[in-house]
């Protein structure tokens, strides 16, 4: 008889994982606390759109839904930097103009992965079921529904229930040496809108990720298929100028006119959006282990939430699905070994991603504004073109390859060192040669 899996959470990774497990022939029940996203419910609390790149696309391709998912995605070929005077600078993501990241709607992608899972008759999806506890040993999930409580027993439970995972909480309470660390940035985020132009067109360059870098904070905007842009303001919660001190419409208007003057005329609903949209927090979560024998396992944000500045949280969660699927294939009769191998293949890499994501916040909000950044990016592209396959900028490795994140981070450190040493040697030789000529 096929093993029975219970998955908790049908967000982005939950739906995709259910499809992978369904294809492998397992009996899968997926429980989601929210209502069916196809009934028009907002996938509340998270970004409206996301950037999907090579790792995420590969995971969709492996289950045959990449074209379906990407049909409405908008390619973004580089960063469009808006300085305070409204001057724009475009920096391509890669020397190869075909390499781009893609803006994709969260709700549409969520629906695509859920529908992919439901094509397998052995997968069932249950909405409006909230997990409140997991008995790890049996393993049994306690669910709350509008009709009361329900206990569901299975062979294995997978927690795909996001950064504030109830499954992980049960592991924390019941596994003696469970390691857990959560750290919040001092910044929060708020989503705002640039609506489509009168003819449904985009009011700014469509094929770019727009950034208004302002040193300690920033705003970004990603395009949507309907001609709108979703802007996200990343700003300190506290401080002299912060979410805390910006209370009235006048405060908001003044702040935006000072900092993002070219965006204000494009944001007719700015004040309403600012007032009504929630301010989200930015958390990094690290924990270990991600599994309990052959009974319980964590995947996606439940195992490793990262801040969004590398655009990799979902991509990494999708990559988890591929790796777990490979491990289940390798150890079809030993789920504990499959879970163990999945954990050991992913942990070091998602820890590396967590560090890269925090580092990229500083790059986006501060360094992208500088000429040095643009020169460094040009140098990166020159070296990449001159040394194909040998020199790869870190952003390129993370975004456009499937090299493990930890290997990417190590490789970039070595490359940077070599470039700096080479530059010092070149400068020393030039200075030495000049001095020699002058002295002759």
Ligand X SMILES: Cc1cc2nc3c(=O)[nH]c(=O)nc-3n(C[C@H](O)[C@H](O)[C@H](O)COP(=O)(O)OP(=O)(O)OC[C@H]3O[C@@H](n4cnc5c(N)ncnc54)[C@H](O)[C@@H]3O)c2cc1C
What is the pairing mode between strands 179-194 and 156-159? Answer: unpaired
User: Can you tell me the distance from the alpha carbon of 339 to that of 325, in angstroms, rounded to the nearest whole number?
Assistant: 10
Question: For residue 266, what is the enclosing H or E element?
Answer: none
Contacting residue, 223, 311, 393, 404, with ligand X by CB under 6 A: 311
Task: Examine residue 8 and tell whether it contacts ligand X (CB under 6 A).
Answer: yes
**CA dihedral angle for residue 164, residue 167, residue 172, residue 175, rounded to 10 degrees:** -160
Task: Examine residue 168 and tell whether it contacts ligand X (CB under 6 A).
Answer: no
| Structure-block tokens of residue 1 | 């008889």
Tell me if residue 61 falls in helix, strand or coil.
helix
Contacting residue, 5, 6, 10, 405, with ligand X by CB under 6 A: 10
Contacting residue, 162, 188, 289, 393, with ligand X by CB under 6 A: 162
**Residue 306 Cβ vs ligand X, minimum distance, rounded to whole Å:** 7
Task: Examine residue 29 and tell whether it contacts ligand X (CB under 6 A).
Answer: no
Tell me which DSSP letter residue 41 carries. -
Q: Is the dihedral of CA 125, 128, 133, 138 positive or negative?
A: negative
User: Can you tell me the distance from the alpha carbon of 74 to that of 90, in angstroms, rounded to the nearest whole number?
Assistant: 17
Task: Examine residue 160 and tell whether it contacts ligand X (CB under 6 A).
Answer: yes
Which segment (46-54, 198-206, 349-357, 389-397) binds ligand X by CB under 6 A? 46-54
Task: Examine residue 13 and tell whether it contacts ligand X (CB under 6 A).
Answer: yes
Residue among 222 and 327 whose Cβ is closer to ligand X: 222
Contacting residue, 317, 338, 352, 397, with ligand X by CB under 6 A: 317
Site for ligand X in 335-364 (CB under 6 A): none
Task: Examine residue 158 and tell whether it contacts ligand X (CB under 6 A).
Answer: no
Contacting residue, 19, 20, 28, 34, with ligand X by CB under 6 A: 34
User: Can you tell me the distance from the alpha carbon of 187 to that of 193, in angstroms, rounded to the nearest whole number?
Assistant: 20
Angle between helices 54-62 and 12-23 (to 10 degrees): 30
Task: Examine residue 139 and tell whether it contacts ligand X (CB under 6 A).
Answer: no
Count helices and strands (H / E) in the chain.
13, 19
Task: Examine residue 47 and tell whether it contacts ligand X (CB under 6 A).
Answer: yes
Binding site for ligand X (CB under 6 A): 8-14, 31-34, 46-47, 50-51, 130-131, 160-162, 166, 189, 232, 280, 300-302, 308, 311-315, 317
């Amino acid at each position: 008889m096929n093993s029975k899996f219970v998955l908790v959470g049908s967000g982005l990774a939950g739906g995709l994982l259910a499809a992978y497990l369904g294809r492998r022939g397992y009996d899968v029940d997926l429980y989601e606390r929210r209502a069916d996203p196809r009934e028009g419910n907002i996938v509340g609390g998270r970004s409206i759109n996301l950037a999907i790149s090579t790792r995420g696309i590969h995971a969709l391709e492996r289950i045959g839904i990449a074209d379906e998912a990407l049909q409405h995605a908008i390619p973004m070929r580089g960063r469009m930097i808006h300085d305070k005077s409204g001057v724009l600078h475009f920096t391509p993501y890669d020397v190869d103009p075909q390499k781009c990241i893609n803006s994709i709607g969260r709700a549409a992608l969520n629906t695509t992965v859920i529908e992919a899972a439901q094509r397998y008759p052995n997968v069932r999806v249950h909405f409006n079921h909230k997990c409140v506890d997991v008995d790890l040993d049996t393993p049994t999930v306690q669910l709350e529904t509008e009709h009361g409580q329900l206990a569901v027993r299975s062979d294995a439970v997978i927690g795909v229930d996001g950064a504030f995972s109830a499954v992980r909480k049960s592991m924390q309470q019941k596994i003696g040496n469970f390691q857990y660390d959560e750290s919040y940035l001092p910044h929060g985020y708020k989503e705002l809108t640039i609506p489509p132009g009168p003819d449904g067109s985009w009011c700014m360059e469509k094929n770019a990720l727009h950034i208004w870098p302002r040193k300690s904070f920033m705003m970004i905007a990603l395009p949507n298929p309907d001609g709108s842009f979703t802007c996200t303001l990343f700003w300190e919660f506290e401080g002299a100028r912060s979410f805390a001190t910006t209370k009235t419409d006048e405060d908001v208007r003044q702040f935006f006119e000072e900092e993002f003057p070219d965006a204000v005329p494009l944001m007719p609903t700015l004040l309403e959006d600012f007032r009504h949209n929630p301010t989200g927090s930015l958390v990094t979560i690290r924990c270990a282990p991600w599994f309990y024998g052959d009974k319980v396992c964590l995947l996606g944000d439940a195992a490793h939430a990262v801040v969004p500045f590398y655009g990799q949280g979902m991509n990494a969660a999708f990559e988890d699905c591929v790796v777990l699927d490979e491990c289940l294939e390798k150890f079809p009769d030993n789920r504990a070994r499959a879970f163990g191998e999945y954990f050991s293949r992913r942990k070091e890499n998602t820890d590396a991603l967590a560090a890269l994501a925090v580092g990229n916040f500083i790059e986006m909000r501060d360094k992208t504004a500088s000429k040095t950044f643009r020169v460094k990016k040009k140098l990166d592209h020159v070296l990449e073109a001159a040394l194909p396959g040998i020199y790869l900028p870190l952003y390129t490795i993370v975004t456009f390859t499937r090299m493990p994140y930890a290997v990417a981070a190590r490789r970039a450190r070595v490359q940077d060192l070599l470039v700096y040493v080479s530059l010092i040697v070149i400068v020393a030789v030039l200075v030495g040669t000049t001095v020699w000529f002058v002295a002759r």
